[in-house]
Amino acid sequence: MRYDSARLSDFSAPIKRRRASLDAGFFTTALILLTAGVVMVLSSSYARAYYDPGEITGGNGAYYFVRQLIFALLGLGAMLLASRIPMELYRKYSLHFMVLTIVLLMLVPIIGVKANGSRRWLGLGGLTLQPSELAKLAVILTFSSMICRFQGRMKSFKFGILPFLGVLGGIVGLLILEPHFSASIIIIAIGGVMMFLGGVGLGWFIAAIGSALGGLAVLLTFFPYASSRISTWLDPFSSPSDEGYQIVQSLYSIGSGGLSGLGLGGSRQKFLYLPEEHNDFIFSVVCEELGFIGAALILCLFALLILRGYWIALHQRDRYDFLVCAGISTLLAIQVFLNVAVVTNLVPCTGISLPLFSYGGTALLIQLFEMGIILSASRDVSLK
């Protein structure tokens, strides 16, 4: 028994019907997380926005909140729109989307907006676009299409390895030019997961992990900066006012929350002590204000959303739909895990945002659009 490249209706399985509406459980959970995220952006950002010198926020404490709210509403519209687009169209135009993404990535080092020593954004009037967020979705959509096309040949190097490595190599190479190492890590991870789901042999992954460990050893041996980052990760309190400052402040914030938290708006570390408090380290503020109970509830909601995404994937009639839903759910899981791992110092510090929570227009729009794709697929799940 095997998947068909288009529809799985050839299987000797019960007759399956198309759902009349989108999956209410997935939609409701995403909406709750989005609402909580917008509220936490307001709570975590108003101090920095108010005390900003004035060039960006003009002293308006609600600056980041208003922008995030606008993008949340736009993203909600994008999610509902994406949920109405048939999955066949995503497959048909996946290659076009990948080409557009690569073109945008090529433009970033040339005309991109520079901030904090990196060029990761393209300026669009008064707005900015981060192509790396598009690249994550492009990899999922394109790899799903390629896997369906190369079905039965995924265990071979010519079809199951080489084309996928070529795409990943090109995208990661462009991201390194920005540089954007955290996005590179996520894209490599999601690309590997998609290849595994497609049927690539386990031996290739063992070889890849071995090569990665060897590369890490070389990096730590010949690049003092990388070795310093590892040392700071192992003992951030050895340099609490220098390399370890950010993670130390994050741990102070998490520890201050205790079991029940200081209350919404009660964080102390967000008063210009904790860097990126409304962005990559927003979960630290969640822990401080809502405590262990509130933070655990947020993580449970993420777990429910991810598991529901996998449930929708497993009930698909089409292999492409299955791969896309599983890929998006895995991407969400990877980003949530890595963000929480970073702010709790489980892994070395790197810039990974928390989906639906961290401030950022492009990321929020794309993430909600991804949720919409899963909702679109949910209209076509197998029903008993």
Closest CA to 13 of 347, 371, 318: 318
| Cα separation values, 198 from 144, 158, 159, Å | 8, 14, 11
pLDDT band, very low/low/confident/very high, at 256 (cuts 50, 70, 90): very high
- Mean pLDDT value across residues 227-253: 83
Least-confidence region, from 65-69, 155-159, 228-232, 377-381:
228-232
- Of 16-20, 43-47, 235-239, where does the model show the most confidence? 43-47
Answer whether residue 4 is part of any domain: no
Answer whether residue 101 is part of any domain: yes
Q: What is the domain range of residue 126? A: 24-378
Answer whether residue 35 is part of any domain: yes
- Mean pLDDT value across residues 362-366: 92
pLDDT band, very low/low/confident/very high, at 55 (cuts 50, 70, 90): low
Average pLDDT, the chain: 86
What's the domain count of the chain? 1
pTM assigned to the model: 0.89
Fill in the amino acid letter for 251.
L
DSSP 185-251: HHHHHHHHHHHHHHT--HHHHHHHHHHHHHHHHHHHHH-HHHHHHHHHHH-GGGSTTTTTHHHHHHH
Answer whether residue 217 is part of any domain: yes
| Cα separation values, 281 from 44, 222, 295, 296, 357, Å | 10, 30, 13, 16, 10
Q: Cβ(364)–Cβ(72) under 8 Å?
A: yes
114-133 pLDDT tens trace: 776 677 878 876 678 889 99
Least-confidence region, from 79-93, 129-143, 191-205, 298-312:
191-205
- Mean pLDDT value across residues 203-219: 74
Closest CA to 297 of 286, 308, 284: 286
- In this predicted structure, the answer to whether residue 15 has a pLDDT above a threshold of 80 is no
Answer whether residue 269 is part of any domain: yes
Answer whether residue 164 is part of any domain: yes
| Cα separation values, 190 from 165, 179, 195, 342, Å | 12, 19, 9, 18
Answer whether residue 176 is part of any domain: yes
Least-confidence region, from 2-16, 177-191, 202-216, 300-314:
2-16
Answer whether residue 1 is part of any domain: no
pLDDT band, very low/low/confident/very high, at 216 (cuts 50, 70, 90): low
* Crossing angle of helices 131-149 and 181-198, rounded to 10°: 20
Using DSSP bridges, classify how beta strands 127-129 and 118-124 pair: parallel, antiparallel or unpaired.
Answer: antiparallel
- Mean pLDDT value across residues 79-104: 95
SS3 of 58, please?
Answer: coil
